[in-house]
Amino acid sequence: MDFSGLFVWPNVRFILEGFLLTLEVSVYSIVFSFVLGIVFGILRYTRLPVISQVAAFLIDLIRNLPLLLIIFFIGMVLPSIGLSISLKWAAITGLSIFEGAMIAEIVRSGLNSVHKGQIEAARSSGLSYSRTLWHIILPQALRRMVPPIVSQFISLLKDTSLAVIISLPELTHNIQIVGGQNQSFVIPALLFAAFLYFAVNYSMSLLARRLEVRTH
């Protein structure tokens, strides 16, 4: 293991560039997947004719597909049929769609956890269904959903490593490149990557625990 040979500035800079791209992809994917998850979770919860059934079908379909396959399809298959998309946005799109489906189930479960008596009381007081959903059900459900949603975001950040399948120059990809320069760099490079992933994910885990305490 050659730690001194690995940790020269060109190698460190190359690895950190990949790490910054990992964070960028994660942030975009977190925002988009949260929006998708909220929308589709509510659509599935409301049980609107046809719309809720379509939403349920799409959620179940995406959740039962491998994320690796989704990223590969968007990053490699779509460009081959003329739908060009950059590698970064292919990864963001794949992660957002997959994690959005996961969050949609969390949202649906959170909405279902609100006691039916509160809904009936709101409806009997004259509130419409949409106002009851917006002012009574959703605020309570969101507080309960925060910890599992943050946990899902932690999984999302780790899942960015799957974008290596489309050669996105994120952290895992760049670690492989640096490790390929010299066999003695492999283990130090992997340890460095593990440290970077751990630092971010552990911070998010602490945030999830704090939020969980506050919601109880």
Q: Is the pLDDT of residue 151 over 70?
A: yes
Q: Which residue has the tokens 């945030």?
A: 207
Q: How far apart are CA 98 and CA 86, in angstroms?
A: 18
Let me know the angle formed at the C-alpha of 68 by 41 and 26, rounded to the nearest 5 degrees. Answer: 60
CATH number at residue 111: 1.10.3720.10
- Residue 3: CB atoms within 10 Å: 13
Task: Give Dmax over CA atoms of the chain in angstroms.
Answer: 72
Give the N- to C-terminal CA distance of the chain in Å, as an integer: 47
In 3D space, the residue among 67, 137, 151, 150 whose CA is nearest the CA of residue 109 turns out to be 137
- The answer on pLDDT for 141 being more than 70 is yes
132 contact partners, CB below 8 Å, separation of at least 6: 119, 122, 123
CA distance 101 to 62: 6
Reported as a pLDDT band with limits 50, 70 and 90, residue 213 is low
Tens digits of residue pLDDT in 20-31:
999 999 999 999
Q: How many domains does the chain have?
A: 1
More confident residue, 179 or 144: 179
Average pLDDT, the chain: 87
Domain span including residue 197: 3-213
Q: Are 176 and 185 in contact (CB under 8 A)?
A: no
Residue 13 has pLDDT above 80, yes or no: yes
Give the mean pLDDT of 3-17.
88
Task: Calculate mean pLDDT across residues 132-139.
Answer: 75
For residue range 95-113, what is the model confidence (pLDDT) as tens digits?
999 999 999 999 988 888 7
Confidence grade of residue 66 (pLDDT, cut at 50, 70, 90)? very high
